[in-house]
Amino acid sequence: DHRGQAGVELSQEKLLERTDQASDVVQDGRGRLIPSSLPAGVLRVDRTRLQLTIDARTQSVARQALRSQMKNYGAKRGTVLVMDTKDGGLRALVTEPTYDPNNFDKVPQSKYEVFKNWAVSDLYEPGSTFKPINVAIALEAGAIQADTVFNDEGSLTVGGWPVANFDYEQRGAVGPLSISQILQRSSNVGMVHIIQQMKPASYYGWLERIGLGDIAGIDLPAETPSTLKPQEQFISYVIEPATTAFGQGFSLTPIQLLQMHGILASGGKLLTPHVVKGVMNEEGEEVYQPKLNPPRQIFSPATTAKVREMMMAVVEEGTGKPARIPGYRLGGKTGTAQKADPNGGGYTRAKITSFVGIFPALEPRYVVLSVIDEPIGADAFGSTVAAPIVKAVIEDIIVADKISPSHPQEIAADNVTIESSTPSTPDAATTSTTPPAISPSPITPATDRKAQ
C-alpha cells in the first residue's frame, strides 16, 4: 500500500511519500499509450533520496562483533550503538536477533519480537554504566570535588536495606577510595557515599534535567520514555537515591543511555540522537535537513573533562581493561545489572551486561554502547561480554577514519600486529581505505571475573 510499516519508512513517511495524482491517458486500437495524450510532467523521475547517518561498514562490523559474543555466551539478545558527538548522528544501530527485510513475511508469529527495535523501545536498568553520569551530577552540583576521598566499607545499610559491592564476599571492606578509584573498582558503596552528599530533591532535579522520565527524541518510531520514581517517593525513602547511585531502581532505553553519555563526550551538551541526515538530489546536494532540538548545556566542559579522565582510568587500570587499545585512549565503564522481575517484587537471577566507550577520551568524537541481555556463564560480565564488542568497533573506526595513535610508542612496545578486519560482505563499506593501522583481535570468551 506504499505506506511505511516500521523503522525509518514509518517515522519519515511524510518525506518519502509522493503526491503525484492519477492521470487519464488515451490508448490506440492496440491498447498502446498515445504519447501526445500524456499530461506534461507525468513521466518525471524523482531522483531525490533520503540520506541516513548510518555507515554501512561500521554497521556491519558492529553486527559481526555482536553476533560473535552472543554466540559465545548464549545471550538472548543484544544491541550496539555508535553516536557522533558532533551532532548526535548515529553511525551504527544494530540489534540482534534480526530478520531479512526482503523476506519479512517468512518470520513466524512466534518470533515477531524481532520486528521490534528494542534499542529504542525496551527499558532496562543500566547498572554501573550510569555511575559516570552520577559522578558528573555530583561534581557539577558542587557536592564533591575530583580529589574527594570516601571510605568504602564494602557494604552498608541504607534505610534498613543492605547495599554491597559486587565482590564484597571475596574482598570485604576496601578502605579509602578517590572518586576515580570508585569508578575504576565500580564500587556501589562508594557511589552511595557520593550521592549522599546531595539533598534528594536536588539530585532528583538533576536526574530530570538529563532526561530521565522523558524520551531521547530519536527520529524512529515507538520510542519508550525512561522511568523515574515519583518525586515524593524518591525524596521520602533514602533507599531510592542510594540504588539510583549505582544504576538500579529506574529504567531507560539503550538509546537514552547513549544520549546521556553523549553529554560527557560533547563537553556537557544534551544532543538529539538521529538517523536521518537529510534529503539529497541527484547531484548530491542537500535539499532538506531535519530540524533537531538545539543542544542543551547540562554540565560544564570542565566537569565532563574530569569525568572522562576518570573513565579513561577505568579502561587503563580498572574493570574496563578488556577494551584497552594500545596506542589510543578511550574512556569507558562496565555494567552488570540484575534484571528486575517483570512481575514485581525484586530481581531475578538473570543479568544484563553492558559497556560504554568514549573515543578518543581527551577529544571525543564517538560514543559506543553495547548491551547484551541475559548472557550465560559465571564469567559473563560487562567487561567480558560487552567490552570486547566496543573495542572491535572502535578499532575498525580507527582504520576507517585513519585516526593516528596518541601514544604510538605503545604500539611498538606491545608489538601490535596491524591488519584490517573489514568484513567481506557486500555492504561492509561505502568507501575504500588506505592500508589499516590496527585490527581487532578475534573475540573469544574471557575468564576474568573481576568485573562489574
The DSSP H or E segment spanning 121 is helix 118-121
Note the pLDDT of residue 323: 98
Q: Which domain holds residue 180?
A: 51-414
% of the chain exceeding 70 in pLDDT: 78
- What does the buried/exposed string (b/e) look like for 92-111 if buried means 16 or more CB atoms within 10 Å of the residue's CB? bbbbbeeeeeeeeeeeeeee
Instruction: Report percent pLDDT > 90 for the chain.
Output: 69
Residue 120 CA to residue 348 CA, distance in Å, equals 23
Contact 322, 446 (CB under 8 A): yes
Q: DSSP H helical segments within 231-337, as ranges?
A: 231-236, 239-245, 254-265, 301-317
- What's the one-letter identity of residue 35? P
Helix (H) or strand (E) holding 70: helix 56-73
Does 330 fall in a domain?
yes
Whole-angstrom distance, CA of residue 385 vs CA of residue 337: 13
In single-letter form, the type of residue at position 431 comes to: T
Asked whether the predicted pLDDT for residue 298 surpasses 70, the reply is yes
The per-residue pLDDT of the chain, averaged, comes to 86
With respect to residue 17, please indicate whether it lies within any of the assigned structural domains: no
Least confident of 51-60, 117-126, 418-427: 418-427
Residue 45 lies in a domain: no
Give the CATH number of the domain where residue 93 resides: 3.40.710.10
Rank 247-256, 336-345, 434-443 by mean pLDDT and report only the highest. 247-256
**Span 254-259, mean pLDDT?**
99
Whole-prediction pTM: 0.83
- Domain annotation covers residue 373: yes
Question: Is 431 domain-assigned?
Answer: no
If you average pLDDT over each of 239-253, 273-287, 428-442, which comes out highest? 239-253
131-140 vs 188-195: helix axis angle to the nearest 10? 30
Question: pLDDT, tens digit, for every residue of 196-244?
Answer: 999 999 999 999 999 999 999 999 998 999 999 999 999 999 999 999 9
What 3-state DSSP class applies to 162?
strand
pLDDT at 286 (0 to 100): 76
Q: Number of folded domains in the chain?
A: 1
Instruction: Identify whether 128 is a catalytic site residue.
Output: yes
Q: Is residue 25 part of a domain?
A: no
Instruction: Quote the pLDDT of residue 416.
Output: 58
pLDDT band at 348 (very low <50, low <70, confident <90, very high): confident
Q: How confident is the model over 19-59, as pLDDT tens digits?
A: 555 556 667 777 776 666 666 655 555 566 788 999 999 99
Tell whether 123 is covered by a domain: yes
The predicted pLDDT at position 398 comes to 98
| Residue 32: per-residue pLDDT | 77
Looking at the domain assignment, is residue 22 inside a domain? no
Which one of 11, 60, 128, 180 is the catalytic residue? 128
Helix residue ranges, H only, 354-445: 387-401, 408-414
- Give the confidence band of 430 by pLDDT, cuts at 50, 70, 90: very low
- At 383, is the pLDDT very low, low, confident or very high (cuts 50, 70, 90)? very high
